[in-house]
Amino acid sequence: MSAELDALTVVNQLRDLAADPLNRRAIVEDQGCLPGLILFFDHPNPQVVYSALLAVRYLAECRANREKMKGELGMMLSLQNVMQKSTSPGETKLLASEIYEILQSAGKEEAEQAEAAAASCRRKAQFFLGSNNKRAKTVVLHIDGLDDSTRRSLCEEALLKIRGVISFTFQMAVKRCVVRIRSDLKAEALGTAINSTKVMKAQQVVKTENGGELMVPFQEDSAVLVEENTDIPDYLPEDESPSQEQDKAVTRVGSITDGMGWLSTAANFLTRSFYW
C-alpha cells in the first residue's frame, strides 16, 4: 500500500472491509478506526462523509457492535450534526438519520420499541427529503455477472449515480445486492443503471406467497428515467490489489487477516490525521 494515503482512500477501504460481516467486530474493537470514522463525518469532502456513514451503517448491522458504537465519544452528536447541517445532501442526511435511530434503540429488548425508532427514522427522513419521501424501501437484486471486485466496483458506481439510493450491501457469494432506496424511486431504475454497464444484468428478487423467491427480470424496452445524483460526487477509482482465485464459490470483500493489516495501517493514518 502507498505511504501517501489520503482520507478518501482510507475511508473507502474501511467501507469495503465493513461490508464483510466477518470484519465488523474487529473494526469496532480497534481503538483507532471507529473514532476515525466519526471524525470523517465532519470532513469537507461530501464524498468522504457519505462513505464514512456507509461504513458505520455496515458496522451497525452487527447487533453486538451497537452499544459500543452508541457510547463512542462524539458518535451520536456527530450524526445529529450531519442530519442538521444545511449543506448535507438529502441521501447523506437520511443515512445519518437511519444510523442514529439504530444506535438510539440499542439495548432495547422489546420489538415495539425498535419499530417505534424505525418509524421515527422514517419521519425524520420525510422531513429532511421532502413530502415525496414517505418511507424508505428495500430492493433485492440478483445480478448476473457480479463475479469479482472489478464488477462490484462497476455496480457500486452505477448505483451511487442514482438519486434516491440510500445504501447497499453486496452478497457476492450469491451474486446479490440489497439496496435501500427512497419510496419514490422505482426498482426499474436500479436495473437500468446496472444493465447499462453492459457486463451485468439485474433481476429483482421478490417473495412469493408461500415464502419462496421469484426472479423478476426488468423489461429491456422499458424507458425508465434515471435521475443522477449530483449532490454526491462519483467515487474515485480505487487501485485493485491482485488476488489469487480460490476454488470456492464464495467471494468476499476482504479476509480477516488482510483486514487486520489494513486496520492497523488505517488506524495509524487516522491517528496522524486528526487535524482538519
Tens of pLDDT, residues 101-116: 999 887 664 455 556 6
Residue 127 covered by a domain: no
How many beta carbons lie within 10 A of that of residue 3, not counting itself? 6
DSSP 3-state assignment of 244? Answer: coil
Predicted pLDDT at 250: 36
Residue labelled with grid coordinates 470514522: 37
Distance CA 259, CA 257 (A): 5
pLDDT of 234 over the 70 cut: no
Q: What is the CATH number of the domain that holds 209?
A: 3.30.70.100
- φ/ψ of residue 241, rounded to 5: -80, 135
Quick one: CA dihedral 24, 38, 13, 159, positive or negative? positive
Q: Which domain holds residue 103?
A: 1-116
Whether 261 is covered by a domain: the verdict is no
Nearest-angstrom CA–CA distance, 126 and 120: 10
pLDDT for residue 122: 58
Checking if the pLDDT of 223 tops 80, the result is no
Tell me whether residue 247 is in a domain.
Answer: no
Is residue 170 within 8 Å of 253, Cβ to Cβ?
Answer: yes
**pLDDT tens, 117-127?**
666 665 555 54
User: How many domains, in total, are found in the chain?
Assistant: 2
- Residue 59 belongs to domain with CATH number: 1.25.10.10
**Residue where one domain finishes, among candidates 217, 234, 253:** 217
Residue 77 lies inside a defined structural domain of this protein: yes
Domain check: are 24 and 64 in the same one? yes
Q: Which triple of cell numbers denotes residue 10? A: 482510507
Instruction: Output the nine-digit C-alpha cell for 118.
Output: 424505525
Report how far Cα 111 is from the mean position of its chain's Cα atoms. 24
Give the pLDDT score at 228. Answer: 59
Mean pLDDT of 164-188: 88
Cell matching residue 273: 490525521
Based on the fold, state whether residues 40 and 143 are members of the same structural domain. Answer: no
211 by Cβ neighbours in 10 Å (0-12 / 13-18 / 19+) ranks as exposed
Taking each continuous run of H as one helix and of E as one strand, the counts in the chain are 11, 5
Three-state SS at 250: coil
Q: Is the pLDDT of residue 131 over 60?
A: no
Residue 249 lies in a domain: no
Task: State pTM to two decimals.
Answer: 0.53
Q: Sign of the C-alpha dihedral, residues 65, 136, 114, 98?
A: positive
- At 84 the pLDDT is 93
